[in-house]
Amino acid sequence: MDFAGKDKATYVKETFNSIAGHYDLMNSLMSIGMDKRWRRIAVRHVGAKSGMNILDVCCGTGQLSMELGTAVGSEGNVTGLDFSQNMLDVAEHSLEHFPYRDRIRFIQGNAMEIPFPDHSFDGVTVGWGLRNLPDLRQGIREMARVVKPGGKVVSLDMAKPTFPGFKQAYWLYFERLVPLMGKIWAKKSSAYQYLHDSAREFPSQQELVRIFNECGLIKTNYVNLAGGVVAVVIGTKPKN
């Protein structure tokens, strides 16, 4: 993939800094408003419940962190981690009207070196984040390191639909329409071209399950959403 002569992390950080103001709107448009529902499903799969302490890696504008915040309530805690300050600024702004805003903190940091000790969280999520990392396995190993034994690591991301006809229509939509929408609404077709290219290169949901296993997670599984356009991939940290 072409990162305009930069290393991937620099390119990705600059890209998200540049689209932060339009990110939530573009997400809703591209997913036809389904992104909120998909995030709620990810929250269910990580097992977020009242009083839990959850980490949301690559939290961006904090939409998944706030869904987690609703699940853990006034007794729990959610930490959103992202390296793009502009995305975090949008997250902080959205938090102003959130009922449990005191229970959520957003911090700037690198998913490749999560700044927390081993076994810190009851669950760890990442939404549309893994494919942006320079080393996917290192990112998953870091999430597995900071979750407590018995806790879950959950990724929500683009996946690969397989149903004939639907599969072709989906890639046509993604290849042609998504960059065009990015050009019209966010004035950034290159950023949305990156979105397409990174989704193409990202492992399928079945491959990601295997990678979760390689990274030491057990009871791995995936759940297709919207016909496999998006999938939730789940793994558990062993207890011993």
Ligand X SMILES: C[S@@+](CC[C@H](N)C(=O)[O-])C[C@H]1O[C@@H](n2cnc3c(N)ncnc32)[C@H](O)[C@@H]1O
Query: Considering the rule CB under 6 A, would residue 234 count as an interface residue with ligand X?
Result: no
Q: For the chain, where are the E strands, in sequence order?
A: 53-57, 77-82, 104-108, 121-127, 147-158, 218-225, 230-236
Residue 136 binds ligand X (CB under 6 A): no
C-alpha closest to that of 176 among 194, 198, 199, 193: 193
Tokens representing 208? 């990601």
In angstroms, give the least distance from the CB of 114 to ligand X. Answer: 9
Binding part of the chain for ligand X, among 45-53, 115-123, 127-135, 222-230 by CB under 6 A, reads: 127-135
Closer to ligand X by Cβ: residue 12 or 225? 12
In this chain, which of 63, 77, 198, 236 binds ligand X, going by CB under 6 A? 63
Cα separation, 134 vs 177, whole angstroms: 26
Q: Hey, which residues between 93 and 122 contact ligand X (CB under 6 A)?
A: 110-112
Task: Output the smallest distance, CB 80 to ligand X, in A.
Answer: 8
121 vs 53: CA distance, rounded Å: 5
Instruction: Measure the CA–CA gap between 65 and 72, rounded to whole angstroms.
Output: 10
Positions in the binding site for ligand X (CB under 6 A) = 9, 12-13, 16, 27, 58-60, 63-64, 82-84, 87, 110-112, 127-129, 132-133
